Amino acid sequence: MSQTLTEIFEHYFDFWKELSETEIEFVCANTRKVSYPKGAYVHQGPLDCIGALLIRSGQLRVYTMSEDGREVTLYRLFAGDVGILSASCVLDALTFDVYIDAEEDTEVLLTDAAAFRRLVEGNIHVRCYAYELATQRLSDMLWKMQQVLFLSADRRFAIFLLEESAQNGSGEIHLTHEQIARYMGTAREVVSRMVKYFNQEGWIKNSRGCIKIIDRQALEQLKGK
Amino acid sequence: MSQTLTEIFEHYFDFWKELSETEIEFVCANTRKVSYPKGAYVHQGPLDCIGALLIRSGQLRVYTMSEDGREVTLYRLFAGDVGILSASCVLDALTFDVYIDAEEDTEVLLTDAAAFRRLVEGNIHVRCYAYELATQRLSDMLWKMQQVLFLSADRRFAIFLLEESAQNGSGEIHLTHEQIARYMGTAREVVSRMVKYFNQEGWIKNSRGCIKIIDRQALEQLKGK
């Protein structure tokens, strides 16, 4: 690594300046670089507790799963994001478990669970940071679950297209219907039906593996205020 | 009040001993007793921000609502519980809004939003408490949303009956089908169908406004591990 761990952590964590020399050494000694190849399981619900993740490159997908294996993607983590739910064992208030997969080859800095727990218990600034971040993530997840539960498919699809295009900074979305269905927590058939419908309305143009947004205003209108 | 505010707060809040004399006076000066009659709206999503609630007696119902008015009850608050989501404006990480109604005549101690914000911003122990409680509530809510999203109706109904009977400490549930439907976030017809089905199986005995659990073991089995 060209940067030292301390430089990286200082940049991302407000609580860093509140740590003692001993705590800083302790965190660094218990943090390691981990690489997940595309498709790897990073965290599996109640089964494991890996600690806290700082994503350096790549992409992680956080999702929940029904008993019969239906998935709902809750959010995705990109470079610079911190994954705190992978340390659910550390935060006593967390009773909701998630699954995390690597969507691309991903590099993370992983602070192991036991060390992270000691830090959270020993330093109120770290504890406050962890719970504030957990509140943020859970709040976003609830918003997502509410969408799945309540919104009509066309509105959800419009929101997905707009968010995805904002994310990659272009008017094109290079994803298969299968992938979109997984991200949206719906069936591939529903996505294909939506693509056809949006195509016919002239809002998007669909070609092999790529959806191009044609009428952004129409999508915004569908999305609502 | 027979007890002073300080005695009550000391009992419920771990952070109380971390407050300065000035902060204690400030909280007490900005807390008042409020009564909500049965059926009253206590908090309405993004529309208001009333502050933090400590329930003294009665019952509040916390729920979310779809655009077309469908409700899902997320949890209920009883005497001694603290309602923190009614202060969503105070916790910056909270992006998910809820509705809160009084299910019974309810008495609360309400610390107003501006005062609560000042306390949260000025004292890390209060901030940590608030975010930890928010994490707990959101985590429970996600669990509930997941149930609504994924579980089959019979299993959800068994879980509801067992939880309700554990809550009131008896094998009888005095609620109408309408009320149960609202608590479970389902339709009254679904509840009536379930009641009829569970009745026929001999798991419960249904009479006017009352469901009696007959075969607890069968419900536990349905609930699963």
pLDDT band, very low/low/confident/very high, at B23 (cuts 50, 70, 90) = very high
Choose among B68, B124, B142: nearest Cβ to A142.
B142
Mutation target among B63, B120, B121, B132 for the A interface, most CBs of A within 10 A = B132
Q: Which amino acid type is present at position A15?
A: F
Q: Strand A71-78 vs strand A106-112: parallel, antiparallel, or unpaired?
A: unpaired
Report how far residue B43's alpha carbon sits from residue B31's, in angstroms, rounded to the nearest whole number.
17
Q: Which amino acid type is present at position A131?
A: Y
pLDDT band, very low/low/confident/very high, at B217 (cuts 50, 70, 90) = very high
Mutation target among A97, A119, A140, A142 for the B interface, most CBs of B within 10 A = A142
Q: Is B166 helix (H, G, I), strand (E, B) or coil?
A: helix
Same structural domain for residues A201 and A117? no
Which pair of structure tokens corresponds to residue B194?
Answer: 């379930």
CA–CA min distance A207, chain B (Å): 32
Same structural domain for residues B111 and B191? no
**Candidate ranges A179-188, B32-41, B145-154; pick with highest mean pLDDT:** B32-41
Q: What confidence score (pLDDT) does residue B1 get?
A: 46
To the nearest 10°, report the CA torsion of B194, B195, B201, B207.
180
Average pLDDT of the residues in B206-210: 87
pLDDT band, very low/low/confident/very high, at A91 (cuts 50, 70, 90) = confident
Would the pLDDT of B145 be above 90?
Answer: no
pLDDT, one tens digit per residue, over A114-149 is: 999 999 999 999 999 999 999 988 888 888 887 777
Cβ atoms of residues B22 and B80 within 8 Å: no
Q: In this structure, what CATH number is given to the domain that contains residue A201?
A: 1.10.10.10
To the nearest 10°, report the CA torsion of A95, B155, A181, A158.
-80
Which pair of structure tokens corresponds to residue A127?
Answer: 């504890």
Instruction: Give the relative orientation of helices A216-223 and A153-168 as an angle to the nearest 10 degrees.
Output: 130
Domain boundary among the residues A149, A165, A200 is at A149
| Total tally of structural domains belonging to chain B | 2
pTM over 0.80: no
Domain boundary among the residues A118, A149, A180 is at A149
Same structural domain for residues B59 and B115? yes
pLDDT band, very low/low/confident/very high, at B31 (cuts 50, 70, 90) = very high
Q: What confidence score (pLDDT) does residue B68 get?
A: 59
Report how far residue B161's alpha carbon sits from residue B166's, in angstroms, rounded to the nearest whole number.
9
pLDDT, one tens digit per residue, over A4-30 is: 999 999 999 999 999 999 999 999 999
Average pLDDT of the residues in A38-49: 84
Same structural domain for residues B178 and B70? no
| Domain span including residue B211 | 152-223
Cβ separation A96–B143 shorter than 8 A? yes
Q: What confidence score (pLDDT) does residue A225 get?
A: 43
pLDDT, one tens digit per residue, over A148-175 is: 777 777 888 999 999 889 888 888 999 9
Same structural domain for residues B140 and B177? no
Same structural domain for residues A213 and A180? yes
Residue tagged 């992680």 (tokens) = A60
Q: How many CB atoms lie within 10 A of CB A24?
A: 15
Asked if the ipTM is above 0.85, the reply is no
Report which of B83, B19, B114 is spatially closest to residue B6, judged by C-alpha positions: B19
Report how far residue B133's alpha carbon sits from residue B90's, in angstroms, rounded to the nearest whole number.
13
Q: In this structure, what CATH number is given to the domain that contains residue B100?
A: 2.60.120.10
Domain boundary among the residues A123, A149, A175 is at A149
With a pLDDT cut of 70, the percent of chain B lying above it is 96
Report which of A96, A85, A92 is spatially closest to residue A42, judged by C-alpha positions: A85
Q: What confidence score (pLDDT) does residue A69 get?
A: 64
Identify residues of B whose CB sits under 8 angstroms from chain A CBs. Answer: 64, 66-68, 70, 72, 91, 93-96, 124-125, 127-128, 131-136, 138-143, 145-146, 148-151
Residue-averaged pLDDT of chain A: 87
Same structural domain for residues B122 and B60? yes
Q: What confidence score (pLDDT) does residue B182 get?
A: 81
Residue-averaged pLDDT of chain B: 87
β-partners of residue A193 are none
pLDDT, one tens digit per residue, over B33-54 is: 999 999 999 988 766 788 999 9
Same structural domain for residues B48 and B138? yes
CA–CA min distance B23, chain A (Å): 19
Report which of A117, A121, A129 is spatially closest to residue A87, judged by C-alpha positions: A117
Q: What confidence score (pLDDT) does residue B208 get?
A: 83
Same structural domain for residues A104 and A155? no
Average pLDDT of the residues in A209-220: 92
DSSP B103: S
Same structural domain for residues B109 and B66? yes
Same structural domain for residues A217 and A126? no
Cβ separation B66–A149 shorter than 8 A? yes
How far is residue B26 CA from its own chain's centroid? 27
Same structural domain for residues A126 and A52? yes
Distances A212 to A79, A202, A203, B26, B189 between C-alpha atoms, Å: 25, 11, 9, 57, 43
